[in-house]
Homo-oligomer: A and B are copies of this chain.
Amino acid sequence: KQKEDKQEFSKYPTKAGRRSLSRSISQSSTDSYSSAASYTDSSDDETSPRDKAQVNTHGSSDFCVKNIKQAEFGRREIEIAEQDMSALISLRKRAQGEKPLAGAKIVGCTHITAQTAVLIETLVALGAQCRWTACNIYSTQNEVAAALAETGVPVFAWKGESEDDFWWCIDRCVNTEGWQANMILDDGGDLTHWVYKKYPSVFKKARGIVEESVTGVHRLYQLSKAGKLCVPAMNVNDSVTKQKFDNLYCCRESILDGLKRTTDIMFGGKQVVVCGYGEVGKGCCTALKALGAIVCITEIDPISLLTCAFMDGFRVVKLSEVIRQMDVVITCTGNKNVVTREQLDRMKNGCIVCNMGHSNTEIDVASLRSPELTWERVRSQVDHIIWPDGKRVVLLAEGRLLNLSCSTVPTFVLSITATTQALALIELFNAPEGRYKQDVYLLPKKMDEYVASLHLPNFDAHLTELTDEQAKYMGLNKNGPFKPNYYR
């Protein structure tokens, strides 16, 4: 199980708190089914990047990627991503004259994908110098890393790093002659951890830390409590916009995509049970129902059940009552052993089982690793578990997150996250002294609304403006914020 956790989203050091790991991590979805990654996954080249001597066309060798020659492929991926990230592009344009990040020296540690590349190149366009490494040993798109390295961004990352590689890359990123970071963009807190431990002097001149993940944010609050946080830090995980997209909307699309890519299932007429009717479950149910599946749900909370499930028209059942009839079983509870071995035993032949919840504990996969059952891997991420009588259950992603493993995250969602990160960096870098202390901050409501408004042009949107009279009547400022701070 330890090993599975790792494969899913993690690496050394700790896993405490991972259970509640935010969906934002799902941007790491770059396994072999991600269409983006599919070009360059040929693992025929066994040489470690650390042992290769590579130079980009500008003569620089200050990077370490799988294969600099994949740069052109990577550039195409970045260009595709740019099409759906016009908020960042427009940010580049608006801020170009003033270069609000001129003088910023940013060291970053995130998933390295085409979308991240658009962020990095935006930061550079706004005046920053950047050095980058990966926050996950599996999630790097090698060709994108190559494309960044080719344009002169020192990138240290490849898909399939060892633990030792991981820390080596972080170190190479931070520890470079004649350059010292004054800002940190982190996802998971490992970079921050390393700098604290090895190069604490960096924090003397640093303007701040921007942190993306639940885990990293948790660590920062602990540091803050312990009085050890020596720079301001911005928690961008909990912005309203980001939270809304990361659950309902994202899952609504990825459940379809994930099931289709792995099983080519026809949704129409399929009996589906969704365990748990939170935002994730709601997204799954909505999408599947819309495509003609017959969806029922399980829920533990009478209020959720009454106010949500029934009113949305889903039959509410106990899993054990319906398990024999189901074609697809989807877990979205965040709980453990939601699908038990006993229930797996009773599933019908061909039943598909997968997990969209927060952890890999929802399906009791361990119980399936027993001698009387045969596992047959029929495709990447798709296993047939075969019972002695020949019955097969189709297990996806070995019970890990389906949307993380078997579908891609829409660029648009990543655009929101990336824009939030960029604005947080600009805010921290330009804030007058004293505005932020050595504490953890949420992105100001105003900037959160700015992120939203930067994305509106994507949509041919026509926002209505309050008249003076209306604003007064409602007790609002005409330019927002329009919702109280506690609003979610």
Contact = CB atoms under 8 A, between A and B. Distances in A.
Given A77-B378, A261-B261, A336-B470, A311 B249 contact: yes
Residue in A266, A308, A376 with the greatest tally of chain B CB atoms within 10 Å:
A266
A84 interface: yes
Contacts of A249: 266, 268, 292, 307, 311
Interface stretch (A147-155, A312-320, A428-436): A312-320
A465 B300 contact: yes
A343 interface: no
A226 interface: no
A477 to B, nearest CB: 11
Interface in A259-309: 260-269, 271, 287, 289-295, 298-309
B306 A456 contact: yes
B456 A300 contact: no
A307 B452 contact: yes
A39 to B, nearest CB: 8
Nearest to A301: B482
A337 interface: yes
A316 B261 contact: no
Given A268-B313, A318-B462, A335-B470, A291 B287 contact: yes
Interface stretch (A50-58, A182-190, A406-414): A406-414
Nearest to A261: B35
A179 interface: no
Contacts of A222: none
A137 to B, nearest CB: 23
Interface string A355-369: 000000100000000
Question: Copy number of this protein in the oligomer?
Answer: 4
B293 A313 contact: yes
A473 B19 CA distance: 10
Given A76-B376, A269-B310, A462-B321, A411 B452 contact: no
Interface in A333-347: 334-338
Interface residues of A, number: 108
B266 A306 contact: no
Contacts of A458: 269
A264 B410 contact: yes
Contacts of A335: 466, 470, 473-474
Contacts of A336: 469-470, 473
Interface stretch (A102-110, A122-130, A239-247): A239-247
A386 to B, nearest CB: 10
Contact of A316 (B302, B350, B462): B462
Interface stretch (A161-169, A212-220, A250-258): A250-258
Given A35-B379, A310-B459, 4 more contacts: A76-B378, A76-B379, A253-B260, A361-B473
